[in-house]
Structure 1
């Protein structure tokens, strides 16, 4: 099985202007090489048949992706309308400023099949393409954000995958994201 970094993931995980909340101590080529040379600890099913999650022990200093919301840090939450790419519509997002999460124990790499990426206009030569990565304390998936589920249901034209909304998964996601936020 071969894995490559997609341009979408490269821009989000390894931005030109490095940020503290992205992958640390590793280049995109080194990340891709590690995924191809090291077996994952586990392979989890994603939200659709074309999506797999490869769980790796964190070999970097990358910090956890999310922070629990508490009365002590709620005042540090910020929000804005943002788009992930120039072609997507901006959506409301929130994040912490001024917090420092612990170093993640695991990197949960989100992969899409070659066939799905071709449908989305990103042909690849490998079997699988990296579309994202979760930085976690547990070897498990963080629920997809509710807005990402909605975007996926809107279809490829709006930056999604075309997978219909799963009401139960959506409600589980809302429960998680009401109590946690990303950080910058």
Structure 2
């Protein structure tokens, strides 16, 4: 089995201008080499049959991507309308500023099968393509953000995968993300 970074993931996990809330102490090439050499601790099923989550111990200094919202940090939340790419419409997002989460214990690498990526106009030469990564304290998946679930349900033309919305998974996502937020550094 071979794994490569998609351009979508590369630009988000390894931006041209480094940020503290992305993967640290690792180049995109070293990241790919590690994924192809080191077996994951476990592989979780993703939200659709073409999606898997490879759980790895964090071999970097990358910090947890999400934090609980508390009365002590609520005033540090910010929001704006943003698009992930120039082709997508902006959506409302929120994040913490001026916080420093702990170093993550795990990197949960989200991969899609080659066939699905071809449907999404992202052809790859490998078996699997990285589309994202969660940096967590536990070796378990965080719920996908509600807006990502909606975008996926809208289809490929809107930056999604075409997987219909699962109302129960959506409710779990809303419960989690109502009590947590990402951070920016």
Give yes or no for TM over 0.5: yes
Q: Deviations over 1:56-104 (max 9, x none)?
A: 0000000001010000000000000000000000000000001100000
Q: Do structure 1's residue 120 and structure 2's residue 120 form an aligned pair?
A: yes
Distance 2:3 2:147 in 1: 27
What residue in structure 2 maps to residue 154 of structure 1?
A: 154
In the TM superposition, 1:1-184 aligns within 5 A as 1-184=1-184
Unpaired runs of 5+ residues, structure 2, are: none
**TM-score, with structure 1 as normaliser:** 1.00
Unpaired runs of 5+ residues, structure 1, are: none
RMSD: 0.2
Distance 2:80 2:133 in 1: 22
Distance 2:136 2:164 in 1: 26
Number of residue pairs the alignment of both structures matches:
184
Distance 2:125 2:97 in 1: 39
Deviation at 1:45, TM superposition (A): 0.2
Runs ≥4 residues deviating over 2 A: none
